Structure 1
Amino acid sequence: MIAHYDAIVLGAGAAGLLCAATAGQRGRRVLLIDHAPEPGRKIVISGGGRCNFTNIHTAPDRYLSSNPHFAKSALSRYTAADFLALVESYDIAWHEKTLGQLFCDGSAKQIVAMLLEECAKGMVELRCGEAVGEVEHADGLYRVRHGEQSSTAPAMVVATGGPSIPKMGASGFAYDLARKFGLKVVQPRPALVPLTLPGDEALFRELSGVSTEIVARCGKAAFREAALFTHRGLSGPAILQISSYWKRGDTVTAQFLPDRPDGWLRTLKRERPRLSFRKALGDGLPERLAEALCGRLGLEGELGTLTDKALGSAEARLARWPFLPDGSEGFAKAEVTAGGIDTAELSSKTMEAKRAPGLYAIGEAVDVTGWLGGYNFQWAWASARAAGLAL
């Protein structure tokens, strides 16, 4: 027997849940399907289990896309304040951590429970643990095989995300589906991901576990946050941010001691000539890192024994210390996926495919990728709302 609905939403993650709830509360009969045994699995693990559910500084310029203007419409119509109002209506306590990042005081499970309650209000039929099989389109209807049955609807929403964190069942399913219906896909790649360093940077592997604040730069992008040295390379918020802009062959530079003014080493030499160069660095850096940098710079001894030229060169190197990553830790460690279903194929107002009527794509499946810190959740909410109001 075939069941009929007004809309079928594939993927019960952040975007799929809110989209289904929005459409359901507008009187649409909605089927929400996910292959995982329970909904919102990535929400539950996000933000260390507390879900960084949005960012109050959300703006279109904090997203990467082949079309930087695409996200403007959805983001302007469903803002961080709108989602926060929903959170507060459920009495979910929250706090701002840093840089506008909002987290639950309690558990990320509260966000999942809220979204499930919103779905219940819209009488959404949720089917978890059912793998999606064949998907076809004929006579104005999408027919989806799921589990042991088939369902049809004039509208279908692709909210299955990207291939980041495959251990949670993530895959490129959304792209296969998009191509099946003639939509172009921008080459997906890992984003918000640790970068790996080649063997000749082995000295820094000895610093595994050491963290310090830097300004990370790649091309025109720059982020000031913590960087973490790992046994494979570089991680930490500053590196995850810059990784979204990095491409193989690019150099990433780290500005160590970013608060030091130009000429600080030469000034310190005049003020404290007997201070050792290593101690001068160690005043603002972890001891093991200061030692490693001294070794790389080849400078030892008291500041008074070093020439201004040598100190100036050291300053310049510390301000733009180059790293040439040989790769990243891939989709297994990537928080999100850059690239995805080409925005040129979609309406920025409704998220509907221009050449496949009734087909919608939202969230991470689309070529819109936010910065670290709640931006990707806000895109999920905004794109979900846009589609849900159009269904």
Structure 2
Amino acid sequence: MILLKLASKSLFNRKASVLLSVLTIAISVMMLLSIERVRVDAKSSFANTISGTDLIVGARTGDIQLLLASVFRIGHMNNGVSWQSYQAISSKRGVAWSIPLSLGDAHKGFAVIGTDLSYFEHFRYAKKQPLRFAQGHAFAGVNDVVLGADVARSLGYQLGDNIVVAHGMGNTSFQQHDDNPLTIVGILAPTGTPVDKSVHVPLKAIELMHGSAQAPDSHEHEHDEHTTHPSEHHEHGQHHEHKHASHQDLVGTPKQISAFLLGFDSPLYSLQVRHNINQYQAEPLMAIMPTVTLSQLWEMLAIVEKILLLFSLVVVSVSLLGMLTTLLANLSQRRRELAILRSVGAKPWHIFSLMSIEAVLISVIGTALGCGLFYAAMWASQSLLQAHAGISLSITPLSGYELSLVAGIIIAGWIVGILPAARAYFYSLNDGMSIKT
């Protein structure tokens, strides 16, 4: 206890140099814990993006490319899936539900997803959590639109506002569909997934915007209007309403979609259907299992994780070496202090213990400050990472692994402090109770 008190007073007496060592250790601890927390939460956020989906089906391409495009809205689909193939596969035995997805449009940088009501009924994220509405309801008409939480918050939209969708992904818009404004009827609750950054519209709206469904025989309608007999003028209003209704109804079955999600009654069915899809004769298709493909994606990113961890460990090592340099530099200036301690009865092992305790105190104070900076950084960057990277940071107590990292830094600090402590020990033996020159 006396040595601890003496070490504390000694550090306070050299507060300028000690503070520098404490700050370098604190910054390195903050970086190490931040990188580890972001790595874990990023992996968790990716894994929680989709849950309960057994297969993702799309045109034949790479597994990861299909996953990124259909789930994370990253990249583009090179080809589509015909509606006939979608219906044929969705009707196979064992298929519990299916969700069609039509991609390729955007609204002010946010991806537009063409789908149907099965999306809101069957799509799951995290641990099979369903989508919930913060406001409004699912689309009921061809001109309705449902926004993700981030879209509504970033653009300041409310229920009843009208928006216009553009052809082209991201911030690049090749064509504005100004003739088909959509009305916001629902806003989803936050999920921490790409759903928050998506604009959901009916498949019929996608077909209407792309002009793949047109009212038939438009010239015939014009001819009929010009040749209508006077006795038929009273039917003009009914004829106009019928023409409008036909235009809405004709925006029906799409020709193709980008991809679709499948859920099965049993995992055995998913394996069988996946094999059949990969051997599909009507068109080149492929089916992937999201959990397996996510694992492959993280295996590809494993080298990045190792580099980040190595970088943070290098920073910690540099900070500990800085502490060692400071202790060694001050040691020669403290030989008189050590001699005074010997004169009042301190033994060489007391000197060794005193120097070791000082190194441990610097490490403990530095790591404690680093933990505080870590939580401050997490709190400050939580909304930023959620908005721009889709990573949901968890501000929770340190995990067992993180505590082991902190303990490792303190132990490393003590080991680093052994060298100046050993030199102080031999100084005290050589100098005795006075400095020998």
Q: Normalized per residue, which structure has more strand?
A: 1
Pick the structure with greater CA Rg: 2
TM over 0.5: no
State the TM-score, normalizing by the size of structure 2: 0.26
State the TM-score, normalizing by the size of structure 1: 0.28
